[in-house]
Amino acid sequence: MMDICLLGTGGMMPLPYRSLTSLLVRCKGKGYLIDCGEATQISIRRRGWSFHDIDTILITHFHADHISGLPGLLLAMGNAERQEPVLIVGPKGIQHVVHSLLVIAPRLPFPLEVHELDGNEDFTVADMEISAFRLNHSMICYGYSLRLPRAGQFDPEAAKTLGLPVQYWHVLQKGETVTWEDNTYTPDQVMGPPRKGLKVTYATDTRPVDVIAEQAKDADLLICEGMYGEPDGPEKAKDKKHMTMQEAAGLAKKADVPELWLTHFSPSMVNPLEFEEEIKKIFPRTVIPKDRRTVELKFED
Amino acid sequence: MMDICLLGTGGMMPLPYRSLTSLLVRCKGKGYLIDCGEATQISIRRRGWSFHDIDTILITHFHADHISGLPGLLLAMGNAERQEPVLIVGPKGIQHVVHSLLVIAPRLPFPLEVHELDGNEDFTVADMEISAFRLNHSMICYGYSLRLPRAGQFDPEAAKTLGLPVQYWHVLQKGETVTWEDNTYTPDQVMGPPRKGLKVTYATDTRPVDVIAEQAKDADLLICEGMYGEPDGPEKAKDKKHMTMQEAAGLAKKADVPELWLTHFSPSMVNPLEFEEEIKKIFPRTVIPKDRRTVELKFED
């Protein structure tokens, strides 16, 4: 199970009625935050999810609307009595950026581990398989996919045939090896092939690039910027290295993803819903969300 | 005339229903901001006052709740097409702090002038006389008084007696010297003694120190922290180098100021108004304000 909250849908600057784009994912007691612009901590508080359990913070790039809330968030996490390490991941240079921002939060009650990306990279945090993939923006920027894998189905008949006592079955179910009475038993002897997991793909700020559709191909949800919707949107998007709603819908169609949530709306776009009809003609499963839209992704069957 | 808006009344962290403490003063087309915690730009936008016209930013100290909104605010000012220089004033070290925070806002369309205080200091910006005065907090911290002086009354009879033609009178009224037909005329020949100006004094975060009452003695308004109100407030305030509402009211009484606004309420204080009756017994002209309480100070008569 994966709880997903799009904490904000805005781009460039926080507005009284629209928080900056940021995603909070909860899974098996761990929290994964993507981006942390100014006032992200307020949106987390509004949602009511824990500050304490944010273990991993993934930063797409160093424009202020994606990272300026970091010192305040880390202080809030310290106030929530977090003591365990926090992992921060981002583009090359993030060590310097984090170090600089912490001039106003020099003493945190937990250690920070900072990981600098240097190109596309897959890594695992707790149960989560994370892919960072390069986007195309006015500065180095990454999208992220978060994937919770699901083991195959346990076959009790196979376990019985092996003669392994019941009290060892859960070890194999967790994917570990069992040694009993001088015999070694491995998970593949009792587990079916891995089943479909859960996956969310997040891409902002960027021009529409193929990697987004590729990443979203087996995702349950694509969260993608759609900064402009109006007729001169394509020109502005090209100029500022952003994406229109129409372009995002095109990527979602290519990926044939179950659902697309648009985000990172320009402050000049007062009501993104006015483009809903047009965008749904390109990709019917598009959602134009409000801040803090939340979904619980569940395993099939 | 001086427009004063207390943008927030919170301390420590921004809350969904309470912005961080910050003061915006408008006077003769210029803007003066004291403190800029996370999401201060949202509160300014809520108030509807101009980003463009913020000329001077006074920082009390480097705790995040008083400065973390600075990069975002400066970017918003750039977006509002400001090009004129902005003056930032704060404790020793502010040059380094501002430089560090600007790692995420490296290209502003206006120059920054940064002034480091090194003890109590009086200085003038445009028409505003500003006093910075040392407080007593867990790090070096300053309070600020903003004073708009008022020239004496113009005496047309005196000007007539001098024989100076009417078209030169406004020059003397502005405080400048006139040379006409080989004679020199000075303002003091036609102007009465300076009249009472307007003054606001702002003090947070600090223990109650005499300098606050001294600064507030001729002020029209004292804005002062009152972080705690509850029975164990004095202990917490002493421990964390803050002030209780009761202590703030005591300072206001000592200064006999026309009005006291309390601010910087602890996040644990859900409803500061519950202490109103008690505090008004100490100082009846106390206001326990909501965010964005605004007043227009006007010259007498």
Question: Which distant-in-sequence residues (6+ apart) come within 8 Å of A24 by Cβ?
Answer: A4, A5, A7, A31, A32, A33, A34, A44, A47, A49, A54
- A155 assigned to active site: no
Contact B72 A13 (CB under 8 A): yes
Which residues in A have their CB inside 8 Å of a CB on B? 12-16, 38-39, 41-42, 45-46, 62-65, 67-69, 71-72, 75-76, 79, 96-97, 100-101, 103-105
Give the Cα separation of A169 and B271 in Å (integer): 55
The burial of A231, by beta-carbon neighbours within 10 Å (0-12 exposed, 13-18 middle, 19 or more buried), is given as exposed
- 3-class secondary structure, A157: helix
Asked if B190 contacts B154 with a C-beta cutoff of 8 angstroms, the reply is yes
Per-residue pLDDT of chain B (301 residues; tens, 9 = 90+): 999 999 999 999 999 999 999 999 999 999 999 999 999 999 999 999 999 999 999 999 999 999 999 999 999 999 999 999 999 999 999 999 999 999 999 999 999 999 999 999 999 999 999 999 999 999 999 999 999 999 999 999 998 998 888 999 999 988 899 998 888 999 999 999 999 999 999 999 999 999 999 999 999 999 999 999 999 999 999 999 999 999 999 999 999 999 999 999 999 999 999 999 999 999 999 999 999 999 999 998 7
Q: What is the pTM of this model?
A: 0.94
CB pair distance less than 8 Å for A16 and B41: no
A2-32 pLDDT per residue, tens: 999 999 999 999 999 999 999 999 999 999 9
Query: Could you tell me what percent of chain A has a pLDDT over 90?
Result: 92
> Which of A104, A141, A266 to mutate to probe the B interface, most B CBs <10 Å?
A104
Would you state the pLDDT for residue A106?
93
Q: Do A16 and B104 touch (CB under 8 A)?
A: no
| Chain A environment of B72 (Cβ under 8 Å) | 13-14, 38, 64-65, 68
Nearest to A72 among B16, B38, B62 (CB): B38
CB pair distance less than 8 Å for A39 and B67:
no
Distance CA A187, CA A169 (A): 9
Task: Residue B100: list chain A partners with CB under 8 A.
Answer: 100-101, 103
pLDDT-derived band at A210 (thresholds 50, 70, 90) equals very high
User: Could you say which of A35, A55, A65, A220 is catalytic?
Assistant: A65
B100 vs A46, A79, A100: nearest CB: A100
Q: How far is B253 from chain A (nearest CA, A)?
A: 35
Give me the half-sphere count of Cα atoms (radius 13 Å) on the Cβ side of residue A222.
31
Distance from CA of A124 to the nearest CA of B (A): 28
Radius of gyration in angstroms for the set of CA atoms belonging to chain B, rounded to a whole number: 21
CB contact under 8 Å between B68 and A72, yes or no, is yes
Is beta strand B183-185 parallel, antiparallel or unpaired with respect to B178-180? antiparallel
Contact B184, B157 (CB under 8 A): no
Facing residue for A16 by CB, picked from B42, B75, B79: B42
Distance CA A56, CA A34 (A): 8
ipTM of the complex: 0.93
Is the pLDDT at A175 greater than 90, yes or no?
no
Residues of B taking part in catalysis: 65
